[in-house]
Amino acid sequence: MRMVDIIIKKRDKYELSQEEIEFFIQGYTRGEIPDYQASALAMAILLNGMTSRETKELTLAMAHSGEVLDLSKVVPIAVDKHSTGGVGDKTSLVVTPTVSACGLPVGKMSGRGLGFSGGTLDKLESIPGFRINLTTDEFIQQLKTIGIVLTGQSADLAPADGKLYGLRDVTGTVQSIPLIASSIMSKKIAAGAQAILLDVKVGLGAFMTNLEDAKQLAELMVEIGKLVGRKTVAILSDMNQPLGHAVGNSLELQEALDTLRGDGPDDFREHCLVIAGHMLALGGLAKDGAKGKKMAEDALVVGKSLARFRDLVQAQGGDVSYVDEPGKFAKAKLIREVETPRSGYLKEINACEVGKTAVLLGGGRGQKGDPIDYTVGIVIQHKVGDWLTTGDLLFTIHANDEKRLKLAKQIILEAHRWSDDPVKPIPLYYGIVD
Ligand code: URA
C-alpha cells in the first residue's frame, strides 16, 4: 500500500477501506508517513468528507494507536467530558474539580489551542510548573489518590490524535466533522472513561457554525460512544459570543479561579453547573441533570471545587500560591481599556473574530510547537442584548506590542455590532443528543 494512493482515492471522493485507514494511522504514528502526506489526506477528508463507517474506523484506529485504558479497574466509575472547542471556553477548569469534589472521579485528557479556539492545556500551563505530560502510570495513580487528572496526550494514549491535532491546527484542516469526531472520541476511548459528556458548540466561534452540522457531529460522536459501550450524551451549546468575559490563556485561568471562588460571569458559571450536573447524572451520582446541577452548585458555593482544583495543581507540580493569590499571574505590558463608541443594544459579538484576535496577540500558534504568550488576550465586558451608553467600558486588550494592540482594538471594535432596537439575549443551549 502507498500513502499517495490513499490521498488520491480520498481526493477523488472514494471511500477508504479499513485497511487503508489503519495503514495511514499506524504509519503516521510510527513516523513513517510524513506530515506533508498526512496534511494532504486531512485536507482531502475536510473537502470530501467521510462516511460514518469510515469515521468510526478512523476513530478506532486512532484510539488503538496507543494504549487503551480501562478505568473500571481503577475507580468505580469515571466520567469524562470534552468540548468541541470554543472562544473563552474554560469550562473544564471549573467542571472537573466540581464533579470530582462531588465524589465522581475525572481523568481527562485535554488539548492545546486549535485554530481560533483555546485549549485547556495552554490555559493550565499559565500556572508556573504545572505539568501536562503525565505518564499513564501517573494518570492512574493520581486518579486513584485525588480523583482528578487534567493532562495532555501522553505518547501512550491516542498518539495518532496527538500528532494529527497539532498538524490540523496549522494546516486549515480543523473544521471537518469526521476529523473532529475521530479526534475527540479516540482520546475519550483511549482514556478509558465509562461515560462521556460532550459539549458540542455551535455558532460563529465554533467549528460548527450551524445547528444542523453541530447535530450531525453530536449524533456521530454519540453513536461512536455507544459502539464501544460508553454511555455518551451530547449537549448542543451556544458559541456565537465568547463564553464568560476573558479570552486568552492566563486571563481565562484567572476567570475560572474567580468562578471557583464563587464569583465569575453568570453565563459561564451557569454553563459549568449544567455540564457538571449532566456528568453527575451520567456517573449515577444524581437522578438527573437538574439534581446534579444542584449538587455541583453546593460544592462550588462551599469552596469544595476550589479546594479540589488546588489539589490538582499541587499534584501536577504547579505553584499553588497562584491559586490563592491570583495577583501573582504575570501581566501583559500593555493593558488598554476601550470605550463604547455609540449608544445602543449589542446585536453581535463575533466570537470567531475575538478568538482569532487572541491568536494574533500571541495567545495561539502559527506553526506546530510555536511558543505562546500566556499573558495576552481580550476581556469582553458585555453580552448580546445589553444596552450600552457611549463611553461605557466595552472591552480591555492585554498585549505585549503596540502594533498588535492597535490592530486588535480595531478588530474587536468591528466584532461588536449594534442595533437601535432591543435585541434578545442568545440562549445558552439548543438541545441534547443521547
Ligand atoms: N477538540 C478536539 O479534541 N479535537 C478536535 O478536532 C476539535 C476539538
The per-residue pLDDT for range 175-209, each reduced to its tens digit, is: 999 999 999 999 999 999 899 999 999 999 999 99
Query: Residue whose CA is closest, atom 5 of ligand 1?
Result: 180
84 CB under 6 A from ligand 1?
Answer: yes
For residue 178, report the phi and psi dihedrals to the nearest 5 degrees. -65, -35
What is the reported pLDDT for 314?
Answer: 98
Task: Report the pLDDT value the prediction gives residue 111, as an integer from 0 to 100.
Answer: 83
**pLDDT tens by residue, 22-81:** 999 999 999 999 999 999 999 999 999 999 999 999 999 999 999 999 888 899 998 999
The tens digit of pLDDT for each residue in 114-150 reads 888 889 999 999 999 999 999 989 999 999 999 999 9
Q: Is 98 helix (H, G, I), strand (E, B) or coil?
A: helix
Atom of ligand 1 nearest to the CA of 184: 3
Give the long-range contacts of residues 396-399, CB within 8 A, separation 24 or more: 396/335, 396/336, 396/337, 396/338, 397/334, 397/335, 397/336, 397/338, 397/361, 398/248, 398/251, 398/331, 398/332, 398/334, 398/335, 398/361, 399/332, 399/333, 399/334, 399/335, 399/336, 399/361, 399/362
Instruction: Tell me what pLDDT residue 116 has.
Output: 83
Scan for cell 479526534, then name that residue.
183
Q: Which of 58, 82, 169, 200 has most ligand 1 atoms within 8 Å of its beta carbon, as the pocket-test mutant?
A: 82
Judge if the beta carbon of residue 85 lies within 6 A of ligand 1.
yes
- Give the active site residues: 82, 161, 168, 183, 187
Question: 99-113, 236-250, 258-272, 280-294 — which is least confidently predicted?
Answer: 99-113
Among 184, 200, 201, 239, which is best to mutate for testing ligand 1, by the most ligand atoms less than 8 A from CB? 184
Task: Determine the atom of ligand 1 nearest the C-alpha atom of 174.
Answer: 6
Asked if 181 contacts 221 with a C-beta cutoff of 8 angstroms, the reply is: yes
Q: What is the pLDDT of residue 156?
A: 83
Q: With 90 as the cut, is the pLDDT of residue 169 above it?
A: no
The answer, as to whether pTM is greater than 0.75, is: yes
**pLDDT score recorded for residue 73:** 86
Instruction: Identify which has the larger pLDDT, 80 or 111.
Output: 80
What per-residue confidence (pLDDT) applies to 368? 77
pLDDT over 90, % of the chain? 90
The answer to whether the beta carbons of residues 255 and 264 sit under 8 Å apart is yes
Minimum-distance ligand 1 atom for the alpha carbon of 84 = 8
Residue nearest to atom 1 of ligand 1 (CA): 84
